[in-house]
Structure 1
Amino acid sequence: MEAMSDQALQQVAQYFQALAEPNRLRILNALRGGERNVGELTEICGSSTANVSRHLALLARHGMVTREGRGTAVYYRITDPAIYALCDLVCGNIARQYEQMAVVRQQLGGVPAVE
């Protein structure tokens, strides 16, 4: 990041902004197993077709997914599997923090209150 221009940093920030929405993360996770169409993603994510389509359009604009039309269906797939390495790193870090907080809460719950 040290040698990045302001414009490049802005693009990085927008990329992370695209990941800052739970439904988009659900969509990316659903695509781990391979390409899927909007109907499949709607069912997996428990969201409306319009909502899933809107999120897919944003993910496509940021180059995270690509689309391919086949007959009347459009299939989406991950453009760069490295997105999962990034997500797994962040999710793993957050999971460890949650576990540590749970241990602390459990320890504090076992301590009698001071009067």
Structure 2
Amino acid sequence: MTGGGFRLISERFKALSEPMRLRLIYALMDGEKTVGELVEETDSLQANVSKHLGILLDAGILGRRKEGLRAYYRITDETIYELCDLVCSSLEHRLAAELQSLSNPRQN
């Protein structure tokens, strides 16, 4: 892999490193939504939501379509579903192991 490849990978992870962006992705997992719907669902300010949507758009993770005065956002990079499942599954296993070790301290 070249340095440019690592840079692209780093940029993808950087786009996913902000909790608000993850909240927006999660909110869009069941279908496209308007900025207003995302503001309400994430309990955030419109300017903040718009800023993070722009970053996810630039990263190629989301897409946008205009209908009249409204913009609808959706996940366009289908690998995000797999990545989220993989990370969540890994964290669930890790937390389960930690809970197990806390409930059975003699086994440590």
Instruction: Give the TM-score of the pair, scaled to structure 1.
Output: 0.88
Q: 2:62 aligns with which of 50, 61, 65?
A: 65
Structure 1 Cα separation of the partners of residues 81 and 13 of structure 2: 13
- For residues 22 and 95 of structure 1, what CA distance do their matches in structure 2 show? 18
Amino acid at match of 2:5: A
Unaligned runs of 5+ residues in structure 2 are none
**Unmatched tracts of structure 1, length 5 or more:** none
Matched, 1:89 2:86: yes
Q: Report the Cα distance in structure 2 between the residues aligned to 1:19 and 1:106, rounded to whole angstroms.
A: 33
Task: Give 1:69 shift.
Answer: 1.1
Q: What count of residue pairs does the alignment treat as equivalent?
A: 106
Hey, what does 1:21 align to over in structure 2?
A: 18
For residues 49 and 105 of structure 1, what CA distance do their matches in structure 2 show? 42
Q: Map 1:25-104 onto structure 2 (within 5 A).
A: 25-104=22-101
How large is the RMSD of aligned CA atoms in angstroms?
A: 1.0
Q: CA deviation at 1:15?
A: 0.2
State the identity as a percent.
41
Equivalent position amino acid for 1:103 in 2: Q
Q: Secondary structure at the match of 2:74?
A: strand
After TM superposition, which residue ranges in structure 1, 4 or more long, deviate above 4 angstroms?
none
